Structure 1
Amino acid sequence: MTPDRVWLNSYPAGVPADIDPGQYSSLVGLMEESFARYADRTAYSFMGKDITYRRTDEESQALAAYLQSLGLSKGDRVAVMMPNVPQYPVAVAAILRAGYVVVNVNPLYTARELEHQLKDSGARAIVIIENFAATLEKCIAQTPVQHVVLATMGDRLGWLKGTLVNYVVRKVKKLVPEFQLPDAVSFNQALSRGRHLPLRRPEITPDDIAVLQYTGGTTGVSKGAVLLHRNVVANVLQSEAWNEPVMKRVPAGEQPTSVCALPLYHIFAFTVNMMLSMRTGGKTILIPNPRDLPAVLKELSKHTFHSFPAVNTLFNGLANHPDFNTVNWSNLKVSVGGGMAVTPNVAKLWLEKTGCPICEGYGLSETSPSASCNPTTSTEFTGTIGVPIPGTWMKLLDDDGHEVTTPGQHGEIAIKGPQVMAGYWQRPDETAKVMTADGYFKSGDVGVMDERGFFKIVDRKKDMILVSGFNVYPNEVEEVASACPGVLECAAIGVPDEKTGEAVKLVVVKKDPALTAEQIQAYCRENMTAYKQPRVVEFRDELPKTPVGKILRRELRNPT
């Protein structure tokens, strides 16, 4: 039994056992306090331009007023489909201040994936960057979206620099495919109109929905984790308390600064970068394309920074890059690894090169996201996911749902705390599968706990594949691939990959003998975003199945 929270003995001095999420009635309260308190500080640094809290405040008020003028009702969903650009935090603050719900969308989604999410969420409006407008054009007629606010890369960079950046993005790098969205209103136009409109301030309670964060949950159908205002507020305060032992070492007079290379549509960056920085009056360095490692390092070489949340893939890519030493890493106080397992070799190299150990944490979209983390005062890599963070309870359950009480025994990790979602959007059946009678969320990950309360993941109960920190559900890959002409049946599994942790492998039985792996991969490219696409295609005469015909993916993963 773990009622005594044995892990509290492993907390660094000064970290509380619990936090008070009731300090704010909503994320709006948290943001508006920071807008007022830190008005003259830099909130975001992007492409060499600093944007203050005051400007973010004013622009989000204008956009909120504009959105209200469209006739949306309190609780309506508004999608955001952009990379890490300053318009993202403005859009999020505007949507929440107007009384609406943020629907975070991966900008690399295909039209099929985007259509599902817009229809499922019932989004009536979308704020999107023009680079991905062609995708929206293909599916908008099949969705409830009535209003489009269209941003460009250079919107917030001033006339001269903005014009130049947009020219390069459109004409030189050719990153904006042709599209037709005749009724779209430009981001700058929406701000301009909103400045002349009144902003009504709806009453927002802790139990109002703040975000729909889409995830596969326990099955392949993408569904929205319902994150209430109090869930995200709690996780911001939990993360702040957890980082405090090392962040208090930031010299007086130096603004706490974090690197945001993780995409803001991912709940890790949404909470642990954007909202946490907002709470602490920090500066966030926005990295629009983390895959461009030379550009990331060039940007970081211009800054002093203290906090760097990332996934193993990014830590690895940076640490092995020839330009790594052009950056001053000596001010780094906390490197948080999440989204996927941190590998010991990457942790070792990162510590050698920066002097700052990677603290591996663990969480899910359903937990806003952080549930556990290694102490930020750790001086070495533990290979565990750490201990439950303040206010969080974790236990291990056997297949019958009973708590595992023998030390070292495996069980499914179950999580309870103020950051746990209210359920899946309009899916009571799916919610019932993952929530226990006593309020724990069943993660689908199999873990073990040591006598100090440190948890370690040892297996996965569900067939999910984890690619660079993103969940890939075999059902979805199989559904798409099986529609490819020439495929009789198929099964998707995860295989180890040095760069991404796992990669998708597709095992296929052909209907058409002439079918090639390249044809299948090309078909998947058209219908699924990159991280879901099969890297390996293997052909077989038949797939292993149960007596009732269910494909045995586990046998494909463990060939005899």
Structure 2
Amino acid sequence: MLNITTFLDANAYRLSKPVFHCPERNLFYTSSEILSIASGIGQDLLGMGVQKGDRILIYLNNSPEYLCSYFAIWRIGAIAVPANRVYTKFELAYMIENSGATVIITDLDGAEFLKPMLEGHDIDIDICFSGKVEIYISSEIENLKNGPVLPPAFVTSDDLCQIQYTSGTTGKQKGAMLTHGNWMAAISNECDVMGYTESDIYLGIYPMGHVGISWGISALRAGALYIMMERYELEKYLHLIKTHRVTVLSGMPPVIHSLDSCPPGTENKIRTVREIISGGGPLHHEIWKRFYLRYNIPIVNAYGLSETIVIGTGTAIRPPDYAFADKFQSVGHPVCFSEVKIVDENDSAVTLSQGQIGEIALRGPAVAKGYFGYPEETKRAFLEDGWFLTGDVGYLDKDFRLCLTDRKKDMIVMSGWKIYPTEVEETLYRCPIVQEIAVFGMSHPHRGEVPAAVVIWKDACKNPQDEEEKTKILLDFSKEHLAGYKIPRKIITVSDLPRAGGWKLLRRELREKYN
């Protein structure tokens, strides 16, 4: 028996403490109560005719219902297709058609949004719990807390339990096929890396439609308390940390950047935190270093993808690394049972030497089975010997730690010169008038591409200088600190940066907009 939900059974027998908290509704749940609620939802799915292997789309806001729907689907041997509430109708229609979902778990608002869209497509699909959906979206979910437990469906480690759609940073979303075995590896590795204990309190901000929910599920597995934020807001984030004495924080580069910019006294609000997670994109050296020196909180800088359930197969910096070797610029060594290597970007059969920049390849127990419905893409990325070509670019430093450079498709090639946007950003973040910056490739008739930058200026610098003067300051800084070919040829002032789910930088959108 390898059903991933059986960890809830084990914890229900030995723990009576709350392990999940929804502050917006002031709801607490034990492992036993989560198991009963998931069983109730699972029983209804079976009553609708759902069978093992059927795909079920979840379209909800972050909520207890979202979490319990995952467990219900996995419990009966079906396959979860998690969706983010911010997706457009076109993205949702594509996910539904590509996955072949036959049921959607949603709420009343979601049903109203989806129904007109589905009428325009040849899709035979049910809106789950129509007629009694209110039970699952209101506090009446409490009625399921003490219901009978549904036996877990028999599955093997190789059986699918999830189709996780990538963020689409390089084009059309693809659904990574994740298995019960993949999830077991992910939970085990995340518990190991974070050092979770039953006394820990984890604050989760990641959308539940994203694999970042794995950090929260790992906290549940360890018997820690998982506090869920419906949506991230800095002031509410800080309030929850202080009120609940949070010990483990979920974060990402923009969040860490915001904390670094917070006024003096913020240190007291987060003094109970022993570590904070970062992932989803490169964490710039300057921001990482300033944060650590100010707060003395180690950042677990992790590297993984949807296709590897974050660090189910991946790498991570751990707190002990700070004592002797880390230079605030790597994502660490491989986690348990995982391997990493760097290969030639044009020939994956060629393994590169230490220090050489190339495509990052991962191999380990949480690598997905491939992309659902995309055999050719699967063949190109998931090699027969188990290696997964990530599409990310990086190198192994002198201590064999992995250092990220960029997405393979984000690399700029100008007259044969290779320019890595993250490297340029790392340098320009040190310019005193820059708040945030993103570098991307802009097409050029003679050079193919040239580097361009969009900039958010620091507040104190928004009024004193005009655009021309600020641009000159940044260009002078660039000329002093960068090789000539890396200097941005165009600088554009913006008020925000395009990000997937509010965190992963979308250079593709910048290229499309300004090209």
**Same fold at TM > 0.5:** yes
* 1:115 counterpart residue number: 93
Could you tell me how far 1:129 is from its partner in structure 2?
3.7
1: CA distance, partners of 2:369 / 2:452: 30
Q: 2:300 aligns with which of 353, 359, 365?
A: 359
* 2:118 counterpart residue number: 140
**What whole-Å deviation, never above 9, does each CA across 1:408-451 have from its counterpart, x for those lacking one?**
11221111000100111121111001022311000111211123
Structure 2 counterpart SS, 1:383: coil
State whether structure 2 residue 217 is matched by structure 1 residue 287: no
Considering Cα pairs closer than 8 Å and 6+ residues apart, tell me whether 1 or 2 has the greater RCO.
Answer: 1
State whether structure 2 residue 429 is matched by structure 1 residue 451: no
User: How high is the sequence identity, in percent, across the aligned residues?
Assistant: 24
| Alpha-carbon distance change, 529 to 436 in structure 1, aligned in 2, over 3 angstroms | closer
Q: What letter is aligned with 1:234?
A: A
Could you tell me how far 1:463 is from its partner in structure 2?
4.3
**What whole-Å deviation, never above 9, does each CA across 1:75-118 have from its counterpart, x for those lacking one?**
11111122321112111111111221111101101111111111
* 1:373 counterpart residue number: 316
What value does the CA root-mean-square deviation take over the aligned residues? 3.5
Could you tell me how far 1:131 is from its partner in structure 2?
4.5
Give yes or no for contact 2:111–2:127 (8 Å, CA) kept in 1.
Answer: no
Residue pairs, 1:406-555, within 5 angstroms: 406-463=353-410, 495=453, 534=509
Give yes or no for contact 2:330–2:402 (8 Å, CA) kept in 1.
Answer: yes
Unpaired segments of 5 or more residues in structure 2? 413-420, 423-439, 441-448, 458-497
Q: What's the TM-score once normalised by structure 2's chain length?
A: 0.74
2: CA distance, partners of 1:498 / 1:284: 34
| Alpha-carbon distance change, 84 to 434 in structure 1, aligned in 2, over 3 angstroms | same
Q: What's the TM-score once normalised by structure 1's chain length?
A: 0.69
2: CA distance, partners of 1:120 / 1:288: 28
State whether structure 2 residue 246 is matched by structure 1 residue 305: yes
Q: What letter is aligned with 1:410?
A: I
Q: How many residues get paired? A: 428
Unpaired segments of 5 or more residues in structure 1? 1-23, 151-181, 249-253, 468-473, 475-490, 500-524, 540-555
State whether structure 2 residue 327 is matched by structure 1 residue 349: no
Greater alpha carbon shift after TM alignment, 58-67 vs 41-50:
41-50
2: CA distance, partners of 1:537 / 1:411: 25
2: CA distance, partners of 1:331 / 1:529: 27
* 2:6 counterpart residue number: 29
Could you tell me how far 1:289 is from its partner in structure 2?
1.2
* 1:262 counterpart residue number: 206
Give yes or no for contact 1:65–1:194 (8 Å, CA) kept in 2.
Answer: no
* 1:206 counterpart residue number: 157
* 2:104 counterpart residue number: 126
Give yes or no for contact 1:357–1:378 (8 Å, CA) kept in 2.
Answer: no
2: CA distance, partners of 1:37 / 1:143: 48
2: CA distance, partners of 1:43 / 1:206: 26
Give yes or no for contact 1:40–1:54 (8 Å, CA) kept in 2.
Answer: no
2: CA distance, partners of 1:126 / 1:327: 44
Could you tell me how far 1:365 is from its partner in structure 2?
0.5
Give yes or no for contact 1:110–1:529 (8 Å, CA) kept in 2.
Answer: no
Structure 2 counterpart SS, 1:442: strand
Give yes or no for contact 2:259–2:291 (8 Å, CA) kept in 1.
Answer: no
Could you tell me how far 1:205 is from its partner in structure 2?
1.6
Q: 1:318 aligns with which of 259, 263, 269?
A: 259
Give yes or no for contact 1:297–1:326 (8 Å, CA) kept in 2.
Answer: no
**What whole-Å deviation, never above 9, does each CA across 1:50-69 have from its counterpart, x for those lacking one?**
22222212111111111111
2: CA distance, partners of 1:324 / 1:31: 39
2: CA distance, partners of 1:332 / 1:538: 40
2: CA distance, partners of 1:424 / 1:221: 12
1: CA distance, partners of 2:150 / 2:227: 29
Could you tell me how far 1:207 is from its partner in structure 2?
1.2
Give yes or no for contact 1:46–1:85 (8 Å, CA) kept in 2.
Answer: no
Give yes or no for contact 1:126–1:148 (8 Å, CA) kept in 2.
Answer: yes
* 1:53 counterpart residue number: 31
Structure 2 counterpart SS, 1:265: coil
Could you tell me how far 1:232 is from its partner in structure 2?
1.1
Give yes or no for contact 2:342–2:351 (8 Å, CA) kept in 1.
Answer: yes
| Alpha-carbon distance change, 422 to 324 in structure 1, aligned in 2, over 3 angstroms | farther
Residue pairs, 1:171-186, within 5 angstroms: 185-186=133-134
| Alpha-carbon distance change, 381 to 149 in structure 1, aligned in 2, over 3 angstroms | farther
Give yes or no for contact 1:444–1:461 (8 Å, CA) kept in 2.
Answer: yes
Give yes or no for contact 1:372–1:386 (8 Å, CA) kept in 2.
Answer: yes
* 1:393 counterpart residue number: 339
